A and B are shown apart, each in its own frame.
Chain A
Amino acid sequence: MTRYVIIRILQALIALIGIIILVFILVRLSGDPMDLIRTPTSTEEEIARLKEYFGLDKSYPEQLWIYLSSLFRGDFGTSIIKRQPVIDMIKAALPNTIKMGLPSFIIAMSLALVLGVLAATKRDSLLDNGVKLLAVLGQALPGFWVAVMLVLLFSVKLRLLPVAGMGTLKHYVLPVGTMVFFMLPGMMRLVRSSMLDVLDSEYIKLARIKGLPDRKIIWKHALRNALIAPLTSAGMLFASLITGAVITEIIFNWPGMGRLAVEAVQARDFPVVQAITIIVASMVLGMNILVDITYAIVDPQIRFQKS
């Protein structure tokens, strides 16, 4: 098991270095950032000084080497547009994204688990049909529309909740609600279908023949085996939350990573784009490892195969 984890971590590190190099090249292929920095009155001398300041006067291999060694020291460089250390911008944005993402994730996963299992065990009941309807709505309605409608209803019409910002608990309700609405349907359907598959399997039938109580069969034996697919999906969903909440962050004016990413891409602020990409890549790779380990914990078959 330990060997397996170490190998997975090493693989992830190699992938991360590859991603860093790829991002470095792609960002520079998109255009000269000096065109954004220079002002109408910039002289050649000033431009040369700015190039030197941002390290753009060096060759690409030199820039890459400096960038990699800076990364090793935890230095992501300086934002070209904001003229601030990128790490400070990330430090400000990341906690905000987590503040919205974590509760959304926990609520969505809890509801998905409960509703998915109940829908699977009570097929074609009112609850099951309700879950299916919710799933269709959640997947069909555009995210930005849902968010805007929530604001119009709860903030503008009913004046119950603030439109935007993140000062108080009330500020969390609409963004978290929107995020839950995005995440819940897919996960709910996945739990439901996985449970249906497992409930049809031989060992569940055996458990029933043996006379085990239903709740034990469902919540202990069936759910545990049905969790493999939802776990994978949840891992990726959590990683994508770091930058995936773009619409929610923009509409609710939540100063997180999604909004930062969009602004940086629009302004071609490549140190920020690079940093965000690397963080997202790290998150995805990290979640992959975590999901793999969780598989092994949840499913003994996998643990034995891997060991």
Chain B
Amino acid sequence: MKKKLILLLVVVLALSLAVVACSRDNEGENNNSNNNNAQVEQSGPYGTLKIASVDFSYESTDPINYESLWGFAMYDPLITIDENGNYIGGVAEDWELSEDGLTWTFYIRKGIKFHNGDELTAHDVKFSVDRFANQSEIESTNPWTPYLAGNYNYTEVVDDYTFRYHCQRPELPLLVPFSWTRIIPKNYYEEVGMEEFRKNPIGSGPYKFVELVPETSFKMEANTEHWRFKPDFMYVEEYQVPEEMTRINMLRTGEVDIALGITNERMVELRDNEGFATVKVGDPVLWTISFPGTWSTRRPTGDIRVRQAMSYAINREELCESYFKGLAVPGGRWYMHPGCYGWDPSWKPDPYDPELAMQLLEEAGYPDAFEDKEIIFYVTPGPMVEQAQLLQDYWRKVGVEVDVQTIDTTQWSGMFFIRNTEPDAPNVGNIFPWQFSSTFNSVYQSANMFTSNGVHSTGNDAKADELYQKVVSELDPVLAEQYWTEFRDYVEGLYYNVGICIIEPNILVNPETVGEFTACTNMTLYDALAGIKHPK
């Protein structure tokens, strides 16, 4: 009897596993719940666009946080930027700057509705701008806030559709933080308070908030009454999937339509062998290296000829073809890529010329290889290590011995983001890589790299400082851009920072369920969501 019971138990356990395994689930995840092809004749938004991303970071729904990526879909910006890099209207359909450069007047578009039906007015704009510029009880952690806050005088609502921002000094690049300012509903926010607002955010963007399951998923629904966009997908669901192979497998099985954070090697494999498509969204990623404290160091990098030699020693073409699998091109400058604000088409990356590199080293007093590994190339764990080793190999061939040291991200950030130019400081005379998304207008980021006040410990040149001031205080947009080009041309010659590659900002999509990307592909994926079409 007992034996039968045991057998029964085993059978039940095995059966329960098998039944669960083979049962059809109601949601039909494996069969791609979008059923996009079947419904292609429908009008209006339908279907769900599913995205697998690496990490939700702050999981913030509040646009005051830079990391609130979803905010780009849920809120409208004060002004925005088109695919050619021109500033265009957002919530403000037009704006003007007073002759003295101290007053910005924004004319608010009429008829914009928040997701709760309230109309968006200049009062909401003032509330949002003040909050973003740290003029309210909330402390903004957004890296763009200091630029707005640093030149804030006061703001005013002239009438329901006119808003003014008064600054302390003329500064044309303020357009950049204005384009990062997203508008939230003043009345709703004040009624429910910050905590509740963050739990149930309301904006006026093309997608509205549905649900956030922390560390798991985020869901939005199309705002069918948006003033600018008519989204094709009714819902957007994003899943946090830290493991790359899991993201790829979810794409393969149709559990998601878009996978983010896929390495180039895998991306090319999946594109060429399995029929997935790559789509460029956002600004390209730039890989550069920086040399802090070049004027105070006793190490060889203090000599510009050594830095030049290190640049000429890098075979950028080879790196782009072999390491980045053809998804990168040589070049790029600190936060600048071809076509962006102030880019001069004549700018080219240094060619691969090991002989010239060795000649420069000889002129600098280093005819032979360095006796010791005097220069440290500080990297953090991950792909940076492999990339640094590739550069190390190029440099070794011309006689520059570099010691690649992998350190903790925190330690690395402490050295790269805090200005310390003492001759014996651990950052001074060494090398730091940076791989990050470029940006259309990089005036402020460049201050950090090339001026004497910059956080990266690299800038220390009176002429560079002077040229930078000329850029930020010029009110004529044409002249300002010209000065900007001159500034960047000059600082590039200082070899504080050397561009290596411009890496394509690709995401991997399933072409059977995702169609054309028709809007805002120069911005973030979340800006672009409203323009993603169903496949034809």
Residues of B close to A155: CB separation below 8 A: 30, 249, 253
Residues of A close to B456: CB separation below 8 A: 40
0/1 interface trace, chain B 230-261, chain A, CB 8 Å (1 if under): 00000000011111011001101101000000
- Measured CB to CB, the nearest residue on chain A to B243 is A250
B143 at the interface (CB under 8 A from A): yes
Please tell me if the beta carbons of A252 and B21 are within 8 angstroms of each other in the complex. Answer: no
Residues of B close to A36: CB separation below 8 A: 409-410, 413
Highest count of chain B CB atoms <10 Å: which of A39, A154, A163: A163
Residues of A close to B21: CB separation below 8 A: 154, 160-161, 170, 173
Please tell me if the beta carbons of B13 and A111 are within 8 angstroms of each other in the complex. Answer: yes
Residues of B close to A167: CB separation below 8 A: 27, 29
Please tell me if the beta carbons of A253 and B246 are within 8 angstroms of each other in the complex. Answer: yes
Q: What is the interface residue range for chain A against chain B?
A: 35 or more
Which of B1-9, B69-77, B97-105, B291-299 contacts the other chain? Answer: B1-9
Given contacts A93-B215, A160-B22, A168-B25, contact A35 B252 (CB under 8 A): no
Alpha-carbon separation in the docked complex, A232 to B297 (Å): 61
Interface residues of B in 9-45 (CB under 8 A from A): 9-10, 13, 17, 20-23, 25-27, 29-30
Closest Cβ of chain B to A287, distance in Å, is 24
A110 at the interface (CB under 8 A from B): yes
- Measured CB to CB, the nearest residue on chain A to B250 is A163
Which of A15-23, A80-88, A235-243 contacts the other chain? Answer: A80-88
Alpha-carbon separation in the docked complex, A148 to B248 (Å): 12
Interface residues of A in 259-307 (CB under 8 A from B): 259-260, 263, 268
- Contact of B9 (CB < 8 Å), options: A110, A159, A172: A110
B216 at the interface (CB under 8 A from A): yes
- Measured CB to CB, the nearest residue on chain A to B414 is A35
B411 at the interface (CB under 8 A from A): yes
Please tell me if the beta carbons of B242 and A263 are within 8 angstroms of each other in the complex. Answer: yes
0/1 interface trace, chain A 146-177, chain B, CB 8 Å (1 if under): 00100110111001111111111110110001
Please tell me if the beta carbons of B214 and A253 are within 8 angstroms of each other in the complex. Answer: no
Please tell me if the beta carbons of B239 and A253 are within 8 angstroms of each other in the complex. Answer: yes
Residues of B close to A49: CB separation below 8 A: 139
Alpha-carbon separation in the docked complex, A162 to B29 (Å): 7
Please tell me if the beta carbons of B242 and A156 are within 8 angstroms of each other in the complex. Answer: no
- Contact of A163 (CB < 8 Å), options: B20, B66, B246: B246
Closest Cβ of chain B to A5, distance in Å, is 32
Residues of B close to A32: CB separation below 8 A: 410, 414
Please tell me if the beta carbons of B2 and A114 are within 8 angstroms of each other in the complex. Answer: no
B58 at the interface (CB under 8 A from A): yes
Residues of A close to B469: CB separation below 8 A: none
Given contacts A32-B410, A156-B252, A156-B253, contact A89 B214 (CB under 8 A): yes
Please tell me if the beta carbons of A162 and B255 are within 8 angstroms of each other in the complex. Answer: yes
Closest Cβ of chain B to A273, distance in Å, is 14
- Measured CB to CB, the nearest residue on chain A to B14 is A111
Residues of A close to B414: CB separation below 8 A: 32, 35
B374 at the interface (CB under 8 A from A): no
A102 at the interface (CB under 8 A from B): no
Closest Cβ of chain A to B9, distance in Å, is 6
B263 at the interface (CB under 8 A from A): no
Residues of B close to A107: CB separation below 8 A: 13, 17
Given contacts A156-B252, A156-B253, A162-B30, contact A253 B417 (CB under 8 A): no
Closest Cβ of chain B to A246, distance in Å, is 11
Q: List 15 A-B contacts (CB under 8 A).
A: A35-B410, A39-B417, A40-B417, A81-B58, A88-B214, A110-B9, A114-B9, A154-B21, A162-B255, A163-B253, A167-B29, A177-B17, A250-B243, A253-B243, A255-B240
The 3 closest A-B pairs by CB, nearest first: A215-B2, A35-B410, A168-B25
